[in-house]
Amino acid sequence: MSHPRSSTSQRFAQFKLVLLGESAVGKSSLVLRFVKDQFDDYRESTIGAAFLTQTIALDESTTVKFEIWDTAGQERYKSLAPMYYRNANCAVVVYDITQAASLDKAKAWVKELQRQANENIVIALAGNKLDLATAQPSKRAVETAEAEAYAREAGLLFFETSAKTAENVQQLFTAIARKLPLDQQGPRGLRQGAGGRGVDLKGGAAAQQQGCNC
Partner 1 sequence: MDEFTLPSTEWDAVIVGTGVKLSLLACALSRAKLSVLQLDPSPHYGSNETALSLSELEEHIASLSSPTAQFKLHSTPVHRDRDYTFTLAPHLIYWNSPLLEFLRDVKMTTSFTWLPLGSWWVWLSDEAVKERGTAKSGGLEGAMANLAAGAVKAGGTVRKKAAWNKNRSKNSAPPVTGALEALAAGKPADEQPASTWGEPSTSTSAATLRRHGDLREVPCTVEDIAWSQDLEGQDRANLGRFLRFIQQSASPEPTSGESNSSASLLAQNADTPLTTFINANFPLPPATIASIHSLTLLPTPPSSTPLHLAVSRLKTHLFSLGSIAEIRSAAALTLSYGGSAELCQVWSRGAAVAGGINILSCDVTPEPLPASSSDADDRIPLKLSTHPSTPITAKHLIMELEPSSWSEESYHAIYLLSTQLPPLFQKKLSTDAVSPAAVVVTMPPDQDAKTGLGNSTPIYLQIRSSATGECARGECVIYAVTAEEKERALLKRAVEMVVEAVDPTTQTGKGSEKIVMSCEYASGDLKRVGVMKGAERRQGELEKVVSEEVREKRVVKVRPLKRDIVFDEGTVEECRAVYERIVGTREGFCEPPPEFVGHGEEDE
Least gap, CB of 184 to partner 1 (angstroms):
10
Element containing residue 163 per DSSP (H, E): none
Q: How far is CA 157 from the centre of its chain?
A: 11
DSSP state of 70: -
DSSP state of 17: E
Least gap, CB of 82 to partner 1 (angstroms):
7
Stretch that binds partner 1, among 35-43, 91-99, 163-171, 174-182 (CB under 8 A): 35-43
User: Residue 13 interacts with partner 1 (CB under 8 A)?
Assistant: no
**In this structure, are strands 157-160 and 122-128 parallel, antiparallel, or unpaired?**
parallel
Residues contacting partner 1: total by CB under 8 A: 61
Rule CB under 8 A: choose which of 67, 131, 148, 167 binds partner 1. 67
Whichever of 70 and 160 has its CB closer to partner 1, that residue is 70
In this structure, what are the phi and psi dihedrals at residue 106, rounded to the nearest 5 degrees?
-60, -45
Whichever of 145 and 199 has its CB closer to partner 1, that residue is 199
Rule CB under 8 A: choose which of 4, 8, 77, 183 binds partner 1. 77
d(CA 21, CA 211): 40
Helix (H, G, I), strand (E, B) or coil at 98: coil
Rule CB under 8 A: choose which of 84, 95, 158, 159 binds partner 1. 84
d(CA 41, CA 198): 38
Helix (H, G, I), strand (E, B) or coil at 117: coil
Using CB under 8 A, list all residues that contact partner 1. Answer: 1-2, 14, 32, 35-36, 38, 46-55, 65, 67, 69-74, 76-79, 81-84, 86-87, 116-119, 186-188, 191-203, 207-208, 210-212, 214
